[in-house]
Structure 1
Amino acid sequence: MTAERRTVVHSAYVISDGASADDAWIMLDDGLVAARGYGGGWRSGAEGAHVVDAGGRTAVPGFIDLHCHGGGGASAEDVAADPADLARIVDLHRRHGTTRSLLSLVSDDLSVLSARSAALAPLVEADPLLLGVHLEGPFLAGSHRGAHREAALRTPTPDALALLQDGGPVTMITIAPELPGAIDAIDALVAAGVIVAIGHTAADHATARDAFARGARVLTHAFNGMPGIHHRAPGPVVAALETAEVVIELIVDGVHVHPSVIACAMRAAPGRVAFVSDAMAAAGAPDGAYQLGGLDVTVRDGVATHGADDALAGSTLTLDRALANAVAAGIPLVDAVTALTSTPASVLGLQGRIGTLTPGAAADLVLLGEDLVPDAVWAGGVLVHLAPVLCDRERSRAARPVGS
């Protein structure tokens, strides 16, 4: 990563907090968004700064991923055994615009999950760009387990919850609310400050509504790992759509959810959809054989499956592709950016601090080219990615005076 320095990005089309502005500029300083403005006002603070001419590119806040298992050939489970693998995951996703993320773990024995959380805890504490640990299980429905080993699933008990939380700080946990003891577990987790997500569930509409009334605030990868919408059995998706406090995760890879359904969900719950990667180790890596939570996974043409029925096993998605896929599905660019930035920030209680380009917020900035691929990425004010097209421009400007 390039060392942090005061940076001015000018002549950009800026999207943030559901609004857009042309010919805008942003100043990054001391890890924060220091100022924003329009036209040539950037010149007054440009002396001694690293000046980047966006050339009309789109500038957006850094993406926030609430659900990421891995990438670059490594998984969060690998990191627990070898911390060096963390760089493979975060470097891959940061190149693709994700500046803040949770590390997600799939279901396993309680002692194993506790040990993995304990191993991840100091790494999360040392890196402010990591927002915590998400446990996707083990309190899931066997009938909708997806890529989770059936033997690892169990019902929630106070002792099980205590063991998992003792392993390290758990930021979010996915749970099936119809399991015995699950509603009590949701009460306990919410009281402890853990974000509760509903997923991998056979819950009916009433049970899901009850879980949300108790404080569950996320629907894990909606439409996947749960009953669909039926006109006489609306299920957990409709329960989430009609509960104003709930944020709905969508995997926008063109495989997990049809583009028309994505557009429908965005219309039904404006500002409450968060695009997630659900990426496993094969994101940014070649097709082939992988492991996910002890399951053998095969990746062909970028689609990860397991078992004889080729059930989906996470994705190989990066969030810049989610953005492009959403726009291709007819989602307005401003709304798609919101689903990657301020909406996931609100889940974490960090609205106004990340996922925005408001002065005083974290200096997480993505400069997108015409194809919505990141040409430059700053995370906490540090330049973590610069595409060759901008490298060439930077070199050509090196000898020119500021403002020329």
Structure 2
Amino acid sequence: MRTTLRGRVVTLTEVGDLADGVVSFDGPRLDYVGPAAGFGGELPPPAAEPPIILPGLIDVHCHGGGGFGFPETDAEGVAAAASYHRGRGTTTLIASLVSATETELRDRIKVLGVAVDEGLLAGIHLEGPFISEHRCGAHDPQRILPGDPALLERLIDYGGGRIVSVTVAPETANFDALADVLADANVILSLGHTVADYERSVHAMRRGWRVSITHLFNAMPELAHRDANFLTAAMAAAGRGDVIAEVIGDGVHLADGTVRMVFDTIGPANLALITDSMAAAGQPDGRYQLGSLDVVVHDGVSRIYDPDGEGAIAGGTATASEVLRRTVFQAGVDLTAAATAACATPARLLGRSGEIGALSTGMRADILIADHHLTPVTVYKDGALWNS
């Protein structure tokens, strides 16, 4: 059955934005994207307040939501978390794990792999265990391991093509061998949770098949103008287009002004908006888990439980549509630029830019319809209306 949508269409192609545009499909792929005046079929009447029609959002770094976390829940919980995010506009979701033992990671890969095969998830991201204990963030220090290429190769083989990215610190042992394993498997090398110096960082950013920066500014040294470091190298590499930098634009991990700064200096084509969300996304304040660690959420901010004070930030609680909305309305980023970082750039990072991340004839009918506040109204995945 044909579906024809009319409104402001943010195509993220050379066509640009269409103030009165149409997106039409009869199946999993788009067969018309263009101005309403050029559409040959029956048109819906123009709305007094036209909806905003966007490509489905793509989140390449997410630990869960809706009360369930990917590093610790069962298959039913994985499906619930993925469905929660899809119902709010994230049509392509990568499930992120945290540092863990080989046995624990294999168990999680097995559970998540079912959701990948069913199309609820688009892949698995291993955040660790080969990261720095000095910037562990919300990772259990007891589960951080020195770089072990044989272990990484076993995990990737066990994943059977479902692992799409791995976060590694440039200073971990055997870094070059780890990078080779990832390149041979066409897995994204994501650099982060690090205290690497500038020279080692520059070297690392030249090693991958495809390279990203795990949540820019977070879990790395601050920018210091007399002490070039990992962040210095990362911002320069992203500015050149050599890497794609993840940005958590939720108002907690980064100030809104910082988000605006990276858009204006690095550019949306080299930034990927992410949530880094965990089980508490969409849930009330309270106690949660993130892998093996206890987490407390207060005023929507999740932190590692620490009886002696304020613990480290432990992932986020926002959805991708909330991050997009904040980037536009609080950080003041143009909608097309923000949507590029929420859709087109992560699609390119995943090597799927000809299929998802934009609205163009022949591409997947993954669509988010939002109101003028960018609040999700309707979601389509592969041309099917998503009812969560």
2:204 maps to: 211
Question: Deviations 1:65-98 (Å, cap 9, x if unpaired)?
Answer: 000110000011344xx21112321221112211
Question: Deviations 1:257-281 (Å, cap 9, x if unpaired)?
Answer: 1111111111221111110010100
Work out whether residues 141 and 202 of structure 1, in 8 Å CA contact, stay in contact via their aligned partners in 2: yes
2:115 maps to: 123
1:402 maps to: none
Q: Structure 1: which 4+ aligned runs deviate by more than 6 Å?
A: none
1:397 maps to: none
CA spacing shift, 1:21–1:238, aligned 2, 3 Å: farther
1:246 maps to: 243
Q: CA deviation at 1:156?
A: 1.5
Work out whether residues 124 and 131 of structure 1, in 8 Å CA contact, stay in contact via their aligned partners in 2: yes
Work out whether residues 263 and 329 of structure 1, in 8 Å CA contact, stay in contact via their aligned partners in 2: yes
Inter-partner Cα distance in structure 1 for 2:303 and 2:191: 22
Given the alignment of the two structures, is residue 178 of structure 1 paired with residue 165 of structure 2, yes or no?
Answer: no
2:367 maps to: 365
Task: Pick from 247, 256, 261 the counterpart of residue 259 of structure 1.
Answer: 256
Q: TM-score if structure 2 supplies the norm length?
A: 0.92
SS in 2 for 1:267: helix
Question: Deviations 1:108-160 (Å, cap 9, x if unpaired)?
Answer: 11121022112222320221x52110000000100000000000000112221
1:33 maps to: 30
Given the alignment of the two structures, is residue 314 of structure 1 paired with residue 315 of structure 2, yes or no?
Answer: yes
SS in 2 for 1:64: strand
Inter-partner Cα distance in structure 1 for 2:89 and 2:245: 21
Work out whether residues 15 and 58 of structure 1, in 8 Å CA contact, stay in contact via their aligned partners in 2: no
Q: CA deviation at 1:369?
A: 0.6
Q: CA deviation at 1:53?
A: 5.9
CA spacing shift, 1:177–1:52, aligned 2, 3 Å: farther
Work out whether residues 72 and 289 of structure 2, in 8 Å CA contact, stay in contact via their aligned partners in 1: no
Task: Pick from 56, 63, 73 the counterpart of residue 69 of structure 1.
Answer: 63
2:133 aligned partner, one-letter code: G
Inter-partner Cα distance in structure 1 for 2:11 and 2:311: 39
2:295 maps to: 297
SS in 2 for 1:89: helix
Inter-partner Cα distance in structure 2 for 1:334 and 1:12: 12
Work out whether residues 13 and 56 of structure 1, in 8 Å CA contact, stay in contact via their aligned partners in 2: no
Work out whether residues 375 and 385 of structure 1, in 8 Å CA contact, stay in contact via their aligned partners in 2: no
Task: Pick from 70, 80, 97 the counterpart of residue 88 of structure 1.
Answer: 80
Alignment of 1:272-287 (within 5 A): 272-287=270-285
Question: Deviations 1:36-58 (Å, cap 9, x if unpaired)?
Answer: 1212444x3349xxx68664121
CA spacing shift, 1:368–1:115, aligned 2, 3 Å: same
2:340 maps to: 338
Provide structure 1 residue ranges, at least 5 long, that are not aligned to the other structure: 387-404
Question: Deviations 1:325-357 (Å, cap 9, x if unpaired)?
Answer: 111211111100001000000000101210110
CA spacing shift, 1:185–1:52, aligned 2, 3 Å: farther
Q: CA deviation at 1:362?
A: 0.6
Given the alignment of the two structures, is residue 152 of structure 1 paired with residue 147 of structure 2, yes or no?
Answer: no
Given the alignment of the two structures, is residue 381 of structure 1 paired with residue 368 of structure 2, yes or no?
Answer: no
Give the alignment's Cα RMSD to 1 decimal: 1.8
Q: TM-score if structure 1 supplies the norm length?
A: 0.89
Question: Deviations 1:177-213 (Å, cap 9, x if unpaired)?
Answer: 1011112211221122111100111112211111111
Inter-partner Cα distance in structure 2 for 1:22 and 1:251: 29
Inter-partner Cα distance in structure 1 for 2:300 and 2:126: 24
SS in 2 for 1:102: strand
Task: Pick from 146, 153, 169 the counterpart of residue 162 of structure 1.
Answer: 153
Q: CA deviation at 1:30?
A: 1.4
Q: CA deviation at 1:15?
A: 4.0
Work out whether residues 78 and 112 of structure 2, in 8 Å CA contact, stay in contact via their aligned partners in 1: no
2:190 maps to: 197
Inter-partner Cα distance in structure 2 for 1:52 and 1:382: 22
**Comparing 183-192 and 235-244, the one that deviates more:** 235-244
Question: Deviations 1:361-385 (Å, cap 9, x if unpaired)?
Answer: 1101111112110111111111115
1:229 maps to: 223
Inter-partner Cα distance in structure 2 for 1:84 and 1:302: 25
SS in 2 for 1:281: coil
1:401 maps to: none
Work out whether residues 78 and 85 of structure 1, in 8 Å CA contact, stay in contact via their aligned partners in 2: no
Work out whether residues 7 and 53 of structure 2, in 8 Å CA contact, stay in contact via their aligned partners in 1: no
Inter-partner Cα distance in structure 2 for 1:329 and 1:71: 24
CA spacing shift, 1:52–1:382, aligned 2, 3 Å: farther
Q: CA deviation at 1:228?
A: 1.4
SS in 1 for 2:138: coil
Work out whether residues 114 and 163 of structure 1, in 8 Å CA contact, stay in contact via their aligned partners in 2: no
Provide structure 2 residue ranges, at least 5 long, that are not aligned to the other structure: none
Inter-partner Cα distance in structure 1 for 2:10 and 2:342: 15
Q: CA deviation at 1:233?
A: 2.1
Work out whether residues 285 and 300 of structure 2, in 8 Å CA contact, stay in contact via their aligned partners in 1: yes
Task: Pick from 17, 28, 41 the counterpart of residue 45 of structure 1.
Answer: 41
